[in-house]
Chains A and B, each alone.
Chain A
Amino acid sequence: MSEKKQQVSRRQFLNYTLTGVGGFMAAGMLAPMLRMAVDPVLKTSSHGDLANVSLSVDDITDEPQRVDWKIDQVDGWYESEVTKTAWVYKDENDEILAFSPICKHLGCFVSWEGSEDFPDEFYCPCHGGRYYKDGTNVPGTPPLAPLDQFEQKVEDGMLFLGEAKEQGEA
């Protein structure tokens, strides 16, 4: 039983087996725990229902107006009502546009004509970010992307809004 003649020595063999058994135990122990920990990442979003925002299509003008509505939010075991906000108007082609008020720079709240210096633009008070009426960011101001647009549909003359999607995607 000279160790030198064998290609894998007894000690090496035992070491490999030991590592294997140790790996099996670690995997058996940790697999369910890790699966549980990463569960939120793997869960597909169940959102997607469009909510009635209680705004008649006839009341939408070519001037952006602020719309607030409430949705039921389920956060794990905690259920609550959250308020969502959108800026809604009709463009030249009579199509309804609904923009998210969340600034694409650092997430402040954007207002239509929020500054007297910049009429006909969305204005963000935090860092002076500006967007044109079609949601495009004004070059040279902090935001790097156009405002998000809400999924929308019109049913029975009422406006329904869903998730805010990045421009181009919506």
Chain B
Amino acid sequence: MLQKIYDWIDDRIDITPIWRDIADHEVPEHVNPAHHFSAFVYCFGGLTFFVVVIQILSGMFLTMYYVPDIENAWKSVYYLQTEVAHGQIVRGMHHWGASVTVVMLLLHTLRVFFQGVYKKPRELNWMVGVLIFFIILGLGFTGYLLPWDNKAFFATQVGLDIAQQVPFIGEQLKTLLAGDPEIIGAQTLTRFFAIHVFFLPGALFALLAAHFILIRKQGISGPL
């Protein structure tokens, strides 16, 4: 039965070569921790992706309870954390996952840097990776505001003040982010929510796809 469904689909879109290519590609000896223990450094990238998956899933589930509104945001988070079964765990996963993502991403970046992997022909993939780093930091900054507690509010105020100091376009930049030239409030929260939940993840997905396609196409860099 399953085989028949598979054949039916394969007949129409020819998926076998695509996933056989991924499944059967050779993994070289020097990245295999079974042969060289030091090869665990090659795990950082995969683990970063794993935490990002945790972030995406826990974030999706958190929006079931969260409202991006200054009256209710904090209350909904407090309710989620105190009243909903396992709500504290899921919020904990998202909260600590953000820190762990940054840590793993940093380790991955350092591994790639010190091995000199960004040299020809992998310049593009390095740049895609650095962009992913920026996106992750952006996600951290915008996500920080969402619980609408004191920590969130005042840290965002500082962040927006920094944006305001940028010469020439500072005021406009701050207004663009905050939604209002003076107030950090209702419009700021909805903006940060939209950026955190739709815009940055959208960009992240595109960049991650590019990152993986490039790795598969160029292969893992050779041993030093």
Contacts and interface: CB of A to CB of B under 8 A. Distances in A.
Do A's and B's CB atoms come within 8 Å in the complex? yes
A32 B80 CA distance: 13
Contacts of A76: 65, 76, 79, 83
B64 A32 contact: no
Contacts of B90: 32-33, 36
B206 interface: no
B75 to A, nearest CB: 4
Q: Is the interface of B mostly helix, strand, loop or mixed?
A: helix
A37 interface: yes
Contacts of B80: 36
B57 A39 contact: no
A108 interface: no
Interface residues of B, number: 22
Interface of A is mostly: helix
Given A39-B84, A77-B72, A78-B72, A33 B79 contact: no
B87 interface: yes
Nearest to B77: A77
B96 to A, nearest CB: 13
Contact of A29 (B54, B76, B78, B85): B54
A25 B53 CA distance: 11
Contacts of A25: 50
Contact of B57 (A29, A35, A42, A78): A29
Interface in B77-134: 78-80, 83-87, 89-90, 93
Contact of B61 (A37, A42, A77): A37
For chain A, the bracket of interface size reads 10 to 19
A67 interface: no
B58 interface: yes
Contacts of B86: 32-33, 35-36, 39
Given A32-B89, A36-B90, A77 B75 contact: yes
Nearest to B61: A33
Contact of A36 (B50, B54, B87): B87
Interface in A8-55: 25, 29-30, 32-33, 35-37, 39, 42
B136 to A, nearest CB: 19
A29 B87 CA distance: 13
B202 to A, nearest CB: 22
8 contacts: A29-B53, A30-B57, A33-B61, A36-B65, A36-B84, A36-B85, A77-B78, A78-B75
User: Which 8 A-B pairs have CB atoms at the shortest separation, nearest pair first?
Assistant: A77-B79, A77-B75, A33-B61, A32-B89, A32-B86, A35-B86, A36-B86, A39-B85
Given A35-B86, A39-B86, A78-B75, 19 more contacts: A25-B50, A29-B54, A29-B57, A30-B57, A32-B90, A32-B93, A33-B93, A36-B85, A36-B86, A36-B87, A36-B89, A36-B90, A39-B84, A39-B85, A39-B87, A42-B85, A76-B65, A77-B72, A77-B75
